Amino acid sequence: MEKMFDSKMLTSFVIKSSLNIYSNMKIGGDATYLLAPQNVSDISSIIKEANSQNLKILPVGGGSNILFGNVGNRVIILDAYLPDIFQVDHKIVTVSSNMKISSFIDKAMQHGLGGMEFISGIPAHIGGAIHMNAGAFEKCIFDYLYWIEYINLEGKVIKIDCRNLEFGYRTTSIEGFIVRAAFKLDKKTKKKILADKEDIISKRFERHPYDYPSLGSTFKNPKGKFAGQLIDECGLKGLQIGEAQISKKHANFIINKGSATFNDVNELIKIIQETVKRQKGIELQLEIKVIN
């Protein structure tokens, strides 16, 4: 890891590393600009510098839903070295965007605060979960979100009440890098929180394939339908290209059985979309982000 000082004197770090380390799919090559800022000022400076060079930015946290291809000259901003924040004020919990969901739920539980156990088992960071409005079991993260602080695409720090944000099924209007957020949680006993968390995780392991790397649900569920069921009904479950396979356990998961490449996974995605469109008349929309 080496310190980078360019003409703009960006106080950040350039990481010499492969992107496959930062993706749950374990796929990804090298990046020209892989940066790990240490504070809000760093992020703001990086974004402004990227803008001056007409470079796109890509915030990356847990990498739980990003498929990396050729990222080109995108400026990839990691949250790994940002300060950890966890503060409790009655039912309001303020947390840094780089905290893992599992850690957040466990820490809140120690204060007798819960309600968000429904996202237990999702291997994402808080920032990424907010960006995509993560959810399960008919609940979503915006049900508990109070406010967020983020750095917009111009490098400006903005704190905004969640009521002023647009959000929907696995989507939000947030454009930029989330730094921290506050949630209004429920008073619950530790015993109840733990039981609910373990129940959710048990259901996930029962339904989802966790024996191989994946990005979770590949496609959004169409209204009134389940993407996995549609893919299964089209006879695609188990289809394999290279080392990438449509999971035999849950057809909305594409797994990496060893050394799958971006092209392997991307080809499966295309086959799924084309087949479901042809047989069911439904256009499946990606839930994961494909960067290429």
Domain extent at residue 166? 86-206
Residue finishing a domain among 206, 235, 250: 206
Choose the catalytic residue: 23, 74, 117, 287.
287
217 is catalytic: yes
Is 204 considered catalytic here?
no
Q: How many whole angstroms separate alpha carbon 33 and alpha carbon 219?
A: 29
Same domain, 74 and 97: no
Residues 178, 214 within the same domain: no
Whole-angstrom Cα distance, residue 174 to residue 167? 9
Same domain? For 73 and 183 the reply is: no
At which of 173, 206, 239 does a domain end?
206
Number of domains in the chain: 3
Spell out the alpha helix ranges (H) of the chain: 40-52, 101-109, 126-131, 190-207, 227-233, 262-280
Q: Classify burial at 261, counting beta carbons within 10 Å of its beta carbon; exposed 0-12, middle 13-18, buried 19 or more.
A: middle
Q: Give pTM, 2 decimals.
A: 0.89
**Pair 224, 170 in one domain:** no
147 touches 79 (CB < 8 A): no
Task: Tell me the mean pLDDT per 10 residues along the chain, length 292.
Answer: 42 70 91 89 91 91 91 90 96 97 98 97 94 92 97 96 91 93 98 97 93 96 96 98 98 97 98 98 96 92
Known catalytic membership, residue 41: no
End-to-end CA distance of the chain: 25
> Domain of 124: which CATH number?
3.30.465.10
Query: Are residue 31 and residue 124 in the same domain, yes or no?
Result: no
Q: What is the pLDDT of residue 183?
A: 98
Q: Which of 24, 54, 78 is the last residue of a domain?
A: 78
CATH of the domain at 57: 3.30.43.10
114 with 195, same domain: the answer is yes
- One domain for residues 114 and 162: yes
Of 217, 179, 214, residue with least CA distance to 59:
179
Catalytic residue among 117, 170, 214, 247: 170
Claim to verify: residue 197 and residue 213 sit in the same structural domain: no
Predicted pLDDT at 33: 87
Instruction: Give the relative orientation of helices 101-109 and 190-207 as an angle to the nearest 10 degrees.
Output: 160
Answer yes or no: do 95 and 185 share one domain: yes
Residue from 11, 67, 53 nearest 36 by CA: 11
Candidates 45, 96, 214, 217; catalytic one: 217
For residues 251 and 228, the answer to whether their CB atoms sit within 8 Å is yes
Examine the domain organization and report whether 273 and 181 are in the same domain.
Answer: no
- Report the C-alpha gap between 95 and 88 in whole angstroms: 9
